[in-house]
């Protein structure tokens, strides 16, 4: 159980992504009541640019700003240095961003990203890190990993002397090292020296084959303290959630359930449903008879298909509610299996179903 200033978070847990202080298509009440999420993720880079972390601070912090009374984790912006690489330049001091909104230059440093997140008031903050594309050579990755470790130390030193007494905020360092297992292990061992409240594994889902993502997690996770939350950033598919937990992972996030919902792909206990398909035109059955979410309790596949083809906004809401509920239900099943001592059997059953569905 992860204790935060805004409530307990049972682990393993999946965190819906609310990049710009909103999970697209849902109200905070819908997130809490219909998906059951005890924690969501926000992004420092995007909130720094708009509306600005100082503005959010003046308005009482991110929780009050977006009317969310449960836990929030904020990313530092390190991943945006990768995903917006055409607008960024990395040096030993930090990352220079050219705003994707107006082109203005902004310097993100280990210290400034901590300051921004302290202003946001998130429960869990992430250090600034460098995320390399796949593939990257061993030497270039080693240099990048060394920079990430140095930035983590600088961020922790700054936080320990500037932490706001009115906001109890944890700070997690991020294990990097590309797709080189030895560098992942080196990075993990050195970050453990920080004695952090939790640890993240980053730099995955950057174009590498899925088995390689899992291998890097398997190399790093066992080296991180078992009594602290271990967070793998930016993963995964429904079938992968249990695989990451089997590696010792406690926390995950991914845009997949919400983004795929908006694009017409819905995840069910029986596999993927592409809701635009003609075979659902007269289908009066719920999306997933085994699901108890608002969407499945009240609407048919035919209606969801109609909304999607008509490009109605309501489709995005109903689809996102379901997909996030499916992810959170999977995590609840995993927690129950762990508590009952049946996790190994659960893992085998998921693998068998995944193989049968061709996943």
Tokens 């995964």 appear where?
236
Instruction: State the Cα–Cα distance between residues 74 and 17, nearest whole angstrom.
Output: 10
For the chain, give percent helix, strand, coil, nearest 5: 50, 15, 35
Cα–Cα distances in angstroms (integers) from residue 302 to residues 25, 253, 274, 278, 320, in the given order: 20, 30, 12, 9, 17
* 140, burial (CB in 10 Å: exposed 0-12, middle 13-18, buried 19+): exposed
182 is catalytic: no
What length does the chain have? 359
Instruction: State the Cα–Cα distance between residues 296 and 310, nearest whole angstrom.
Output: 20
Quick check: helix, strand or coil at residue 101? coil
Catalytic residue selected from 75, 123, 288, 329: 75
* 347, burial (CB in 10 Å: exposed 0-12, middle 13-18, buried 19+): middle
Cα–Cα distances in angstroms (integers) from residue 256 to residues 43, 88, 196, 236, 237, in the given order: 16, 25, 28, 7, 7
Token pair recorded at residue 180: 């080189």
253 is catalytic: yes
Catalytic residue selected from 57, 123, 129, 253: 253
Token pair recorded at residue 42: 């926000």
Q: Mind telling me the catalytic residues?
A: 75, 253
């Amino acid at each position: 159980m992860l204790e935060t200033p805004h409530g307990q978070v049972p682990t393993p847990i999946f965190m819906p992504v609310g990049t710009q202080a909103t999970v697209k298509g849902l109200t905070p009440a819908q997130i809490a009541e219909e998906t059951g999420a005890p924690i969501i993720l926000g992004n420092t880079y995007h909130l720094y640019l708009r509306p600005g972390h100082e503005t959010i601070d003046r308005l009482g912090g991110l929780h009050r700003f977006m009317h969310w009374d449960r836990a929030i984790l904020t990313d530092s912006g390190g991943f945006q240095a990768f995903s917006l690489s055409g607008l960024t330049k990395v040096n030993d001091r930090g990352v220079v961003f050219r705003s994707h909104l107006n082109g203005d230059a902004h310097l993100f440093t280990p210290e400034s990203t901590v300051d921004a997140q302290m202003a946001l008031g998130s429960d869990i903050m992430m250090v600034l890190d460098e995320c390399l594309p796949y593939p990257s050579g061993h030497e270039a990755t080693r240099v990048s990993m060394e920079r990430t470790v140095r930035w983590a130390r600088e961020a922790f030193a700054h936080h320990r002397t500037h932490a706001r007494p009115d906001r109890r905020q944890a700070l997690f360092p991020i294990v990097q090292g590309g797709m080189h297992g030895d560098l992942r292990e080196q990075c993990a061992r050195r970050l453990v020296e920080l004695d952090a409240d939790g640890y993240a594994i980053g730099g995955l889902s950057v174009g590498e084959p899925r088995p390689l993502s899992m291998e890097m997690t398997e190399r790093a996770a066992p080296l991180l303290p078992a009594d602290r939350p271990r967070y793998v950033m930016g993963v995964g598919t429904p079938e992968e959630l249990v695989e990451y937990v089997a590696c010792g992972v406690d926390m995950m996030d991914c845009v997949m359930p919400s983004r795929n919902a908006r694009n017409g792909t819905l995840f069910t206990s029986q596999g993927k449903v592409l809701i635009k398909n003609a075979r659902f035109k007269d289908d009066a059955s719920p999306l997933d008879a085994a699901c108890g979410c608002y969407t499945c309790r009240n609407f048919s596949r035919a209606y969801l298909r109609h909304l999607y083809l008509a490009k109605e906004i309501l489709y995005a809401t109903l689809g996102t509610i379901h997909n996030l509920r499916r992810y959170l239900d999977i995590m609840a099943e995993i927690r129950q299996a762990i508590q009952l001592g049946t996790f190994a059997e659960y893992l085998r059953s998921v693998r068998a179903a995944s193989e049968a569905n061709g996943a």
